[in-house]
Every structure is written in structure tokens, then in C-alpha cells.
Amino acid sequence: MTVSLRRALSEDQLDTSQALHAPLFQNVLVKLDPSERSVLLDLGAASTAMLALFSESRCCVEIADVAHFGGCDRLNSAEPGPGLFDIAEALLPERVTSDPVDIVFCWDLPNYLSLPALKALMQAIGRRSRGGTIAHALIYYAERNMPKYPGRFVPTEDRKLENHALPGELVSAPRYSPEDLTDNMSGFAIDRARLLGNGMQEFLFRF
């Protein structure tokens, strides 16, 4: 099945079926102390694999699934200002804990947001973060194009990342530079960055 799917990809489609070695993602997992309570914010879709990964930890996982619940369109189409911040805040899940968020998994969502939309979303996330909160993100950097819709990243047993989104139409990637991100991550500063084998830039930000 996988073989035929790969063969069906035309030259103008990105092959997202390969498991992605993302060392900074692995680094985040290694630093997660299972004996300490942690609050994780996942901007992507829920997956059993992610839950299984954290099932042995004392975690509270907040899942926003921003893309599925119409978040990208709502954020990108709103005028910058307080209204945009309100939209961003409404996209985040209601909280069951008052503990601040420790880790944010942005996946490739920032690529699908305009810079003002990204700024508003990260500002809303910053409101539930603490000094030292880490945000992980994957930015299309080397490739000019990216899939039309955000990926559905799922960790494998060896802690690589598989994109389970179906391959489809491509659109041009914004290819945000580190400067773009620094100016629009609302207090999340670049801590580390790595260029991955598939041409994406992996970032860790620190609040």
C-alpha cells in the first residue's frame, strides 16, 4: 500500500510518507521528567500515539486541533487587533488546570498562518505559559512548496515523526526566516534550530 502510494506521487508533490528524524523533538521528550507534572499544548490533531507517549508521565495534554476546527481560515481572515487575539484565544482548549503550559507542539502550523495570525496565536499561548515554556515547530524552509493543508504528525515507536496527512495539492510555502519568527512569536525566542533531511527547519523556542 505504501509503495503504491509513493509511486502515485507526481514530481510536484512532496513525499511526506517517510518517518522524519527530528532531533529537537526527541530532545523535548528526553527532557520530560515522568515524575514531574507537565502540561502540554498540542496545536495539532489528537493521536493515540501521542497519548501513548505521555501515558506514563504525569501529564495534562491540551489539544487544540487548530486546523481542523477552522482555525487557520479564521485567524488569517481577521484584521489585526484585539479581535484577532480573541479569535486566537477561542481556538485554544478550555483549561482543566491552572498550571502553566510547559511544552507547546506547533508542528507545521505556523507555515499556514499569516504573521499577524501567528503573532496573535502565540500571544494567546503566552498567556497560559510560564518563563521557560518550550515551543517546538517545523518550518518549510528549503522547499519552495508545501502541502495545501497542515500535516498530521504522529510519533513512531523510535520517536521519529510520521506525517499521516494524505498527500495532495501543493501551495507555495511562506518560508519564514528566523527573523520573521523572532518578530512574531510573541515572546517565544529561538533557542535552537536544525535543518532536517526533508528540507524543513526544526525550531525550539523558549518563552
Partner 1 sequence: MFERNKKEDHSESQEFGSSEPDKTFGATRKSKPRKSDGLATIGRSIQISGDLRGDEDLRIEGDVSGTVELRNNALTIGKEGMVHADVYARSIAVDGETRGDLYATERVSVHVNARVQGNIISPRVSIEEGAHFKGSIEMDQAAVEKVLGKPAPEQKAKPEAAKAAAQKSAKETSSNLNPPAGTA
User: Among 22, 61, 88, 118, which residue interacts with partner 1 (rule: CB under 8 A)?
Assistant: 61
- DSSP character at residue 111: G
Least distance (Å) between residue 51 CB and partner 1: 6
- In angstroms, the CA 150 to CA 8 distance is 21
Q: How many residues bind partner 1 (CB under 8 A)?
A: 27
Residue 106 makes contact with partner 1 by CB under 8 A: no
Binding residues for partner 1 restricted to 123-152, rule: CB under 8 A = 152
Total residues found in the chain within this entry? 207
User: Among 4, 30, 96, 179, which residue interacts with partner 1 (rule: CB under 8 A)?
Assistant: 96
Spatial contact of 25 and 50, defined as CB atoms under 8 Å apart: no
> Cα-atom radius of gyration of the chain, to the nearest Å?
16
User: Among 22, 25, 28, 62, which residue interacts with partner 1 (rule: CB under 8 A)?
Assistant: 62
Least distance (Å) between residue 38 CB and partner 1: 9
From start to end of 141-188, where are the E strands?
145-147, 153-155, 161-163, 170-172
- In angstroms, the CA 179 to CA 42 distance is 24
User: Among 6, 31, 95, 148, which residue interacts with partner 1 (rule: CB under 8 A)?
Assistant: 95
Span from 4-12, 43-51, 112-120, 195-203 in contact with partner 1 (CB under 8 A)? 43-51
- DSSP character at residue 112: G
Residue 207 makes contact with partner 1 by CB under 8 A: no
User: Among 51, 171, 189, 195, which residue interacts with partner 1 (rule: CB under 8 A)?
Assistant: 51
User: Among 164, 175, 192, 206, which residue interacts with partner 1 (rule: CB under 8 A)?
Assistant: 164
Nearest to 7 by CA among 121, 158, 167, 199: 167
What SS3 class is residue 202?
Answer: strand
> What's the burial of 28, exposed, middle or buried (CB within 10 Å: 0-12/13-18/19+)?
buried
Residue 94 makes contact with partner 1 by CB under 8 A: yes
Where along the sequence are the contacts to partner 1 (CB under 8 A)?
A: 37, 45-48, 51, 54-55, 57-65, 68-69, 93-97, 152, 154, 164
